[in-house]
Structure 1
């Protein structure tokens, strides 16, 4: 039996609206005004997001971000700091009592991330789930994912790297010393890859979004209802962007 799923392609937005819309969708699914939802999106301008439990000033060089025109935002999900630049981001929201929503968090990651694995296979990339919440290809990380459970729902979102500028990333993230910075850059270049590196060609946002859309449908047996976000969700996303995600009280709260 196929599972009905709303499909949203919302293109590029700033970090605050992106996080606001993820939460607005979570609230809409929770109240029953819409069905489980899969969304694909990008970030413009580029941004760094930190996990809910992290401290912004400990993780991120805010002055460097301002210099480079990089937004900074706190997610409602856990996990570490993420540099959002050349990537496709997805979010999936479904009720906790949905057949695809495992109660065990590790099992839940493993199941939902199969959509990414199947999508990458359509691009010719062999990948696998690496617990707790990563996807690896050729032994290197290509996707990181984060999850929260609120209002009787799961929100899982994650990134699939089209390309990665590790040197820029480490001018934006805090590391203890210049010596540590060099080691950290070398370490990440060894551990992290991207689709353009694996395929030895440039890849586009639209190409990868289409592959992931097909992959999620295949792996999770989804039957899509392509839509636009409801006007109420957009209004709520704008409100959350303004009053929470762009607010220093939220961003610097830890």
Structure 2
């Protein structure tokens, strides 16, 4: 089983979306995954956010993904991941919410092993939170909380989304390795500057959570956890 962090051209966010689309273009026969690092910033919108696409000012590349959820700002501060599962895989058959659990816990585990106090958000814990905490900035992925996403303390450090088709399930996620420049995304999409302030206050990068955080080691740990979970094989690099 092999998977690697690709060195990508064209831009990483474009390559990521192409890979995701290819996984669901035909029946998924075996589990597969990829980890993604991004050299340049890009905004990836959820499939229902064409309104934001129309108002983008062109200063940052903007893409639409197949999965739902809110806007994501990718860049060097983020580690992305994609997991493709056959529709009858045990990890895909647990239902919409439960199928996230293993992945959120895997992301939390990789962060914990690097010294970050990270926990996957159980549904019952999420339900007990005030509504304004669950949806601080409704249009941004990192502006809200969903079951099994990952918190470091009380701030969001990793988000999740998924696409389910008759012949496969695609799970995607992003881990904040460093602080995200939320103002860049808000300005590019014509959104309120106050939203950037809220996002900065409610999210955290691993490098903020602990000193001397090793992003490469975190990616390697997450790769190992995914490879072990998805045995016997992942897609070739």
Which residue does 2:220 correspond to in 1? 210
Secondary structure at the residue paired with 1:9? Answer: coil
Task: Determine helix, strand or coil for the equivalent of 1:136.
Answer: strand
Query: Deviation per CA, 1:167-211, whole angstroms, max 9, x where unpaired?
Result: 323222332xxxx52x3222112110001101223543x322102
Q: What displacement does 1:135 show?
A: 1.0
Mapping for residues 1-254 of structure 1, pairs under 5 Å: 7-13=3-9, 14=11, 15-27=13-25, 30=27, 32=29, 35-56=30-51, 58=52, 61-63=55-57, 65-66=58-59, 70-85=60-75, 86-130=77-121, 131-132=146-147, 134-163=149-178, 164-175=180-191, 180-181=192-193, 183-201=194-212, 203-204=214-215, 206-217=216-227, 220=229, 222-223=231-232, 227-228=236-237
> Does the Cα contact within 8 Å between 1:6 and 1:37 map onto a contact in 2?
no
* Structure 1 position 221, deviation (Å): 6.4
User: Which residue of the partner structure matches residue 236 of structure 1?
Assistant: none
Unaligned runs of 5+ in 1: 229-254
Q: Is the 8 A contact 1:6 1:38 kept in 2?
A: no
Bigger helix fraction: 1
Separation in structure 2 between the aligned mates of residue 159 and residue 91 of structure 1, nearest angstrom: 9
Change (3 A) 1:225 1:93: closer
Q: Which runs of 5+ in 2 are unaligned?
A: 122-145
Q: Indicate how the Cα distance of structure 1 residues 110 and 211 shifts in structure 2: closer, same or farther if over 3 A, else same.
A: same
Q: Which residue of 1 aligns with 2:126?
A: none
Write 1 or 2 for the structure with the bigger share of strand: 1
* RMSD (Å) for aligned C-alpha atoms: 2.4
Whether the 8 Å CA contact 2:5–2:37 is kept in 1: the answer is no
Q: Distance in 2 between matches of 1:197 and 1:61?
A: 32
1:43 offset after TM fit, Å?
2.7
Mapped partners of 2:148, 2:49: distance in 1? 17
Task: Give the whole-Å Cα distance in 1 for the aligned partners of 2:116 and 2:235.
Answer: 26
Say whether the 8 Å CA contact 1:6–1:227 is kept in structure 2: yes
Instruction: Check conservation: 1:8, 1:37, Cα contact below 8 A.
Output: no
- Larger displacement relative to structure 2 (100-109 or 73-82): 100-109
Partner Cα distance (1:142, 1:55) in 2:
26
Cα distance in 2 for partners of 1:166, 1:200 equals 22
C-alpha deviation, 1:223, in angstroms? 5.0
